[in-house]
């Protein structure tokens, strides 16, 4: 049985290595984008943001309106967060499609049963070695899903658009931050607002500055 699992896992490990090699091309980046936050019963303005990242796990989102509305699990918007830890078992879990693109499904099970990430399911475009969707279940911060569309920065595994979906029950406002609340009396026509248990954070990227040598002071 163990030998069969090892044989079954080998192609998954090889594909993950190709994905990792592409992701690891990026040592740091500074990206400009537009962020839309959709949380039921809360009106959050669309904002210009600057996203900073430094390998392996530093990430910061600066909002032009001075408001940070990013759930803790949004750190997973950096695919490095899923790939830097190699202490997991990779298992093929079939095929599917994401936005019409065929993908291979790979599940990552941590070797350490007490690891913060309990399970990650990756939907990988095998032809381009790109993760199109990732669903991650954590022990403390619930389950999060990340869906990505790629364009001109695909060679670096950097998306043109990323949509992060999270459970409202896990959502915590930063201290001292208040917003205009929607009391729910208005009729919702946007399908993304139908499920009141889910919130979304969407970033459309306009530009990346890659491997420019970001200093650690940026993240303080």
Q: pLDDT at residue 1 above 50?
A: no
Domains, the chain, in order of start with CATH, read: 2-182+194-210 (2.50.20)
Q: What are the tens digits of pLDDT across the range 7-49? A: 445 688 899 999 999 998 999 999 999 999 888 777 778 889 9
Question: Sheet of 130-138: strands edge to edge?
Answer: 58-63, 47-54, 28-38, 198-210, 161-167, 143-149, 130-138, 117-125, 101-110, 88-98
Identify the pLDDT of residue 70: 64
192 pLDDT band, cuts 50/70/90, is very low
Are the CB atoms for 121 and 143 separated by under 8 Å?
no
Are the CB atoms for 146 and 153 separated by under 8 Å?
no
Are the CB atoms for 37 and 200 separated by under 8 Å?
yes
Length, in residues, of the chain: 220
Q: Residue 66: helix, strand or coil by DSSP?
A: coil
Identify the pLDDT of residue 148: 94
Q: What are the tens digits of pLDDT across the range 92-147? A: 999 999 999 999 999 998 888 888 788 899 999 999 999 999 998 888 777 889 99
What is the reported pTM? Answer: 0.81
- Give the rounded percent of residues in the chain with a pLDDT score beyond 90: 40
């Amino acid at each position: 049985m163990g030998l069969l699992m090892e044989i079954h896992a080998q192609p998954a490990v090889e594909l993950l290595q190709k994905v990792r090699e592409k992701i690891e091309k990026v040592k740091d980046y500074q990206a400009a984008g537009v962020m839309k936050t959709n949380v039921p019963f809360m009106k959050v303005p669309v904002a210009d943001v600057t996203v900073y990242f430094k390998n392996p796990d530093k990430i910061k989102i600066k909002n032009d309106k001075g408001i940070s509305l990013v759930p803790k699990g949004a750190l997973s918007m950096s695919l490095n967060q899923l790939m830097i830890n190699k202490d997991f078992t990779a298992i093929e879990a079939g095929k599917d499609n994401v936005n019409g693109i065929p993908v291979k499904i790979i599940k990552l099970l941590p070797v350490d049963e007490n690891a913060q990430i309990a399970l990650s399911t990756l939907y990988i475009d095998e032809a381009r070695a790109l993760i199109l969707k990732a669903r991650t279940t954590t022990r403390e911060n619930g389950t999060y899903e990340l869906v990505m569309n790629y364009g001109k920065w695909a060679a670096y595994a950097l998306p043109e658009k990323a949509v992060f979906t999270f459970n409202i029950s896990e959502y915590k406002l930063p201290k001292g931050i208040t917003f205009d609340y929607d009391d729910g009396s208005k009729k919702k026509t946007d399908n993304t607002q139908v499920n009141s248990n889910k919130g979304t954070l969407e970033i459309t990227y306009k530009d990346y500055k890659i491997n420019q040598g970001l200093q650690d002071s940026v993240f303080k």
